């Protein structure tokens, strides 16, 4: 039986519910903070955009200010009476475009989190703050767009339908993802096997692509790996292989019913529903990072294999060894990232609360 949460009365068409106000004002507050962050960074000459550890031109900081100003205007248009004079499609389209721009600015946040977890630092705290603020903006802008649409059309912000009586929110029963999504998830799981085998080979002291385990350890130490990372490597455990295992666990949980209910070993929580944001947050961040990163890497690997571009050998003995590692690493990220995005979208749709007419429930 579905779990009933709370009553949701939808106002008549043309009225603006309170929820649209707090989401819109929250987005406006975020835009103010984000714009101030970009303005101060620009005036002080501190780059907020980085490529790896290399700062990009400070002039790009003004893009943050521009996005923030536009976001503040769109958020106010979504909640203030004067916004009703704007054609209905303008504000949602503007919010969607700003979501895309903010998402692009947030790219790399997952890498920062991983670096912070194992190295206790990041390449640039300013760049990480920019990515975190941009990611928060994506969430608030999406929420504002959803509620604005429901307010403008007099529909329910949860299910998108127009209710004529009071309703209650009900969560669907746990269910398996469609077959095509499961197949893609299994492909994402299998894609990580070569990568995990490569990293584990180095961690156990073996040789792959002309690099021995001892050399890999020296390279990791030279590149600033933390004590935790190096200690795990000396124990024969590769940290990225552990992260890959956690990623596979997340991916499978998104497509199977057990990913929607806490298991028995959680004791107090066992049998209770998993909050939707708990798996969706890492899934969406991971998909937004790994999918474009991996796909771009695969394109580079294809061009390198075809001889169109010259592949740098980096720390490997030959360019061929570097290309092999690129295929194993970025190929896994590409397949897994796409699969994670599809699984997250399916999970989002399958676990979305539905509205049940209380009058119909009483009659039944």
Q: Write out 136-159 in H/E/C secondary structure.
A: HHHHHHHHHHHHHHHHHHCCCCCC
Specify whether the CB–CB gap between 336 and 358 falls below 8 A: no
Whole-angstrom Cα distance, residue 146 to residue 94?
Answer: 13
Local structure of 70: helix, strand or coil: helix
Kind and range of the H or E element at 55?
strand 54-55
Amino acid 264: pLDDT:
77
**HSE (side-chain half, CA atoms, 13 Å) at 5:** 12
**CA-based nearest residue to 69, from 26, 109, 33, 45:** 33
What angle (nearest 5°) sits at the alpha carbon of residue 26, between those of residues 24 and 27?
65
Contact 188, 335 (CB under 8 A): yes
Identify which of 320, 296, 16 has the alpha carbon closest to the alpha carbon of residue 157: 16
Supply the pLDDT for residue 330. 93
Q: What angle do CA 162, 166, 171 make, to 5 degrees?
A: 80
- Cα–Cα distance between 12 and 317 in angstroms, integer? 70
* pLDDT given at position 86: 87
User: Domain map of the chain by residue range?
Assistant: 3-171, 179-350
Report the C-alpha gap between 135 and 62 in whole angstroms.
Answer: 18
Q: What is the pLDDT of residue 237?
A: 83
pLDDT of residue 112: 87
Which residues touch 310 (CB under 8 Å, ≥6 apart)? 304, 319
CA distance 103 to 105: 5
**Contact call for residues 83 and 56 (beta carbons, < 8 A):** no
- Its pTM stands at 0.83
> Per-residue confidence of the chain (364 residues) as pLDDT tens digits?
344 434 444 444 434 444 456 888 999 999 999 999 999 999 999 999 988 778 999 999 999 999 999 999 999 998 888 888 888 889 999 999 999 999 999 998 988 888 887 777 888 899 999 999 999 999 999 989 988 887 777 677 666 666 666 777 777 888 999 999 999 999 999 999 999 999 999 988 899 999 998 998 888 888 777 777 778 888 888 888 888 999 999 999 999 999 999 877 777 777 788 999 999 999 999 999 999 999 999 999 999 999 999 888 888 999 999 999 999 999 999 999 999 999 999 999 999 887 776 655 455 5
Distance between CA 283 and CA 273 in Å, rounded? Answer: 18
């Amino acid at each position: 039986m579905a779990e009933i949460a709370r009553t949701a009365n939808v106002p008549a068409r043309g009225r603006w519910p309170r929820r649209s106000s707090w989401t819109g004002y929250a987005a406006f507050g975020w835009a103010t903070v984000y714009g101030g962050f970009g303005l101060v960074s620009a005036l002080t000459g501190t780059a907020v955009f980085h490529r790896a550890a290399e700062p990009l031109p400070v002039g790009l900081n003004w893009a943050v200010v521009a996005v923030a100003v536009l976001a503040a205007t769109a958020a106010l248009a979504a909640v203030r009476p004067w916004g009703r004079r704007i054609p209905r499609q303008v504000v949602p389209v503007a919010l969607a475009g700003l979501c895309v721009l903010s998402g692009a600015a947030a790219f790399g946040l997952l890498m920062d989190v991983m670096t912070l977890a194992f190295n206790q630092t990041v390449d640039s705290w300013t760049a990480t703050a920019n990515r975190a603020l941009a990611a928060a903006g994506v969430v608030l802008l999406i929420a504002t767009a959803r509620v604005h649409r429901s307010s403008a059309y007099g529909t329910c912000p949860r299910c998108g339908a127009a209710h004529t009586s009071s309703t209650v929110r009900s969560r669907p029963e746990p269910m398996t993802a469609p077959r095509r999504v499961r197949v893609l998830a299994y492909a994402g799981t299998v894609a990580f096997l070569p990568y995990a085998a490569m990293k584990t080979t180095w961690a156990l002291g073996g040789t792959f692509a002309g690099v021995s385990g001892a050399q890999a350890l020296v390279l990791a130490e030279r590149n600033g790996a933390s004590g935790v990372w190096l200690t795990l490597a000396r124990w024969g455990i590769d940290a990225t292989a552990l992260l890959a295992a956690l990623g596979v666990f997340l991916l499978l949980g998104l497509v199977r019913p057990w990913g929607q209910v806490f298991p028995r070993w959680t004791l107090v929580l066992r049998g209770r529903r998993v909050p939707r944001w708990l798996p969706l947050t890492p899934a969406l961040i991971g998909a937004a990072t790994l999918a474009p990163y991996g796909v771009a890497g695969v394109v580079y690997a294809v061009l390198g294999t075809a001889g169109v571009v010259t592949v740098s050998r980096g720390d490997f003995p030959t360019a061929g060894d570097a290309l092999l590692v690129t295929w194993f690493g970025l190929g896994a990220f590409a397949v897994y990232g796409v699969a994670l995005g599809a699984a997250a979208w399916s999970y989002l749709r399958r676990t979305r609360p539905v509205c049940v007419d209380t009058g119909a429930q009483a009659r039944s």
